[in-house]
Chains A and B, each alone.
Chain A
Amino acid sequence: MPDAATIKARIEAAIPGAQAEVEDWTGGGDHFRATVVADAFAGLSRIQQHRLVYEIFGAEIGGPIHALSLKTHQPVRNHP
C-alpha cells in the first residue's frame, strides 16, 4: 500500500529539483493530495505539469492510488 512519504520521495526522485508535500487525504492509504513545486514546470501548461507527475505512477493511479489530487507550480518568486 502506498504511503504519503513514499509518494513524496518518488515525485522528488523523478522530477529533478522538485519539492513535494503529500498528505494522505482520508487516512485510508489510497486518496492523496500533493503540492509539487518544481522549476521543471516552467513553460508547461497545467495539464502538462500534472501529466509529469501522473506519469511517475502510471497505472497505479486509479489502481492502488485511487486518487492523487494535485497542485503544481513553479517556485514562487518575489514580486515587487
Chain B
Amino acid sequence: MTDQHDNPIRQAVADAIANNDVILFMKGTPEAPACGFSARTVGALQALDTRFAAVDILPDPRIREELTALSQWPTIPQLFVGGELVGGCDIVTEMFESGELAELLGADDQAHASEPAVADGAALQIENRLS
C-alpha cells in the first residue's frame, strides 16, 4: 500500500470521508450532476433533506483512482455515512425506496444536529488542493 504521506490526494480523500458525516463522491456537482447515476443519488439525498458534502471527481482522475483504492468500490457515485461506504446509486436508491436510507441518515442527523455544515468547506478544500 502506498504511504499516505507520499500521497496527498489519497490523504485528502481519506480526510474528507473522516471529517464529513455524509459525503458523496460524484460526477459533477449536486446542482449540475454530470451523470445520471450521480443525479439519482443526489435526488435521493435531497428528497430526505439531507445535508451532505459533495466532491466532484471529474476535475482530476487521481481523485477517482485514490477513492477507489480506499473504498475498493469500482463505480461512481459513492456515498459515505459516518466514514463507512454505504454504496453507489443502486444501493442508495434501494435504501431510499425501502426507508432504510432515511433511517440511517435520520439517526446520524440527530447525533450531530449541533454541528455546522462543514461539509462544503472540506469538499472545496479538496478541489482547491488539486486545482
Interface residues of A (CB under 8 A from B): 46-47, 50-51, 54, 57-59, 61-62, 67-71
Residue from A47, A54, A69 in contact with B74 in the complex, judged by beta carbons closer than 8 Å: A54
Range of interface residues on B (Cβ < 8 Å): 10 to 19
Pair A51/B72 contact, Cβ less than 8 Å: yes
| Distance of A18 from chain B, by nearest CB (Å) | 17
Given known pairs A54-B73, A62-B74, A67-B37, the reply for A47 and B91 (CB within 8 Å) is yes
Q: Please list the 10 inter-chain residue pairs (A to B) with the smallest Cβ-Cβ separation, ordered nearest first.
A: A61-B74, A46-B91, A54-B74, A70-B90, A62-B74, A69-B90, A47-B87, A46-B87, A61-B75, A47-B85
Pair B73/A46 contact, Cβ less than 8 Å: no
Complexed CA–CA distance, A57 and B90 (Å): 17
Complexed CA–CA distance, A54 and B78 (Å): 14
Whether B89 is near chain A, meaning CB under 8 Å from some CB there, is yes
Whether B108 is near chain A, meaning CB under 8 Å from some CB there, is no
Whether B15 is near chain A, meaning CB under 8 Å from some CB there, is no
Complexed CA–CA distance, A58 and B68 (Å): 11
The residue among B64, B74, B75, B94 with the most chain A CB atoms within 10 A of its own CB is: B74
Q: Residue of A at shortest CB range from B64?
A: A62
Pair B91/A69 contact, Cβ less than 8 Å: no
